[in-house]
Chains A and B, each alone.
Chain A
Amino acid sequence: MINSGAKVILEIRGLTASVAGVSILKGIDLTVRAGEVHAIMGPNGSGKSTLAKVLAGHPAYEVTGGTVLFEGKDLLALASEVRAQAGLFLGFQYPVEIPGVTNSAFLRLAYNTVQSGRGKEELDPLEFDDHVRETMKLLEMSPEFLDRSVNDGFSGGEKKRNEILQMALLEPHLAILDETDSGLDIDALRVVASGVNHLITPDNACVLVTHYQRLLNYITPDYVHVMESGRIIKTADKSLALELEARGYDWLLNEKLDS
């Protein structure tokens, strides 16, 4: 939902970043306002997942230039955990497995840490159990996922549902979902997308990083950006995604070369 008067949640200016000395992001500019859904598309290796990880503070990436303001604060100066507490959420393309820690304990720890970081009240195990079971209904998740180890032995679809469950619990102001559609069958995609749609409000924003257009059949973006070689080379409305689906990325890259 575009509302040009809405407050700016994320403002990226001239962001450059490298990994192991190799430059990946070569000058990103992006403004995301409350209520907006942005899709970042692009071929493999274009830097879109790197952008997601840099915003969440992955230690393997070095920011070499530019600025990022998150609700007016200097995001890059914050440790990853402080970014999470401030309201930034990254849904992982490959959520890690943590055998030995039950999902319920992990979710409660994350929830309470973020709550206390925001000066809000923590929930005791019983209260949290009620809360998480209610929230799981949104993603059609069986309560048995609470007793299993975090993501351990989960299918691709189950892992992604668990990511969106965390998004629902942590109530971010900005959710960046990195390839959330990858590895999902059509039913899981529908459930995950419906969960995300349910969580989008006029007060928060969502950035979908995706290679394919298919997720955007379910979550309608206000803007579609195409990345190539570490830059955003085109920004348009949702029709661009359909065009990319029909024509691939090559014509766009050629168009860029021609200009």
Chain B
Amino acid sequence: MNGFAIVWQERALFLEGLWNTVSLVVAAIAISVPLSALGAVVLVEAPRPVARLARALIDLTRCVPFLLLAYVIYYGLPQLGLRFDAWWAGLVTMTLYNAAYLAEIFRSAWLALPKEGFEAARAYGFRPATLYRRIVLPQIAYASAPLVGGQIIVMIKDSALLMIITVREISFAANSINANYFTPFAPFVVAIGMYWMLSLIVEAWVRRVASGARLRYG
């Protein structure tokens, strides 16, 4: 049988894979963006020792290979009594790993912003929470969108590694079809197509934000 016909026959497996990849990526973004925004606030504004601790944790996370982080969380933590199923272990891994990178991206975007506007906001009676929400974070978002988009694409591709800890995502689907039917080409091409499509969606979002930024900053 033709490889693509097999893929079509096994489409339920692929759709499940697509769903798991998308749900992992979306959930990881939803958690890691606010977490890393908070991380950036700590890096920039917290008292020295707290900022140092955050810095150390972020550097540590960024220096661990993604795959090993996934291994430790899925296979290692149960030894300490913390057990996740594969999807949740994948989510924790992706969230931690990306939050570390995003915090660094947000921090550098923040430091590059002009400070006069922040002082003006203080002079006009903004309190810190409103100042961050209304003045600081929106400007960070515009400034960092291209890098954030790049990081999300990295995250989408990293998620393929989660097949090793048995998450039933896109690569897992492709791999299991190959293993069962000995037809590597079609399933892997379809998997690549799916990752590509997801990345294009992210690119489209980046272009939209970037045009908003052009409107504002020229």
State yes or no: do A and B come from one complex. no
Residues of B within 8 A of A (CB): none
Residues of A within 8 A of B (CB): none
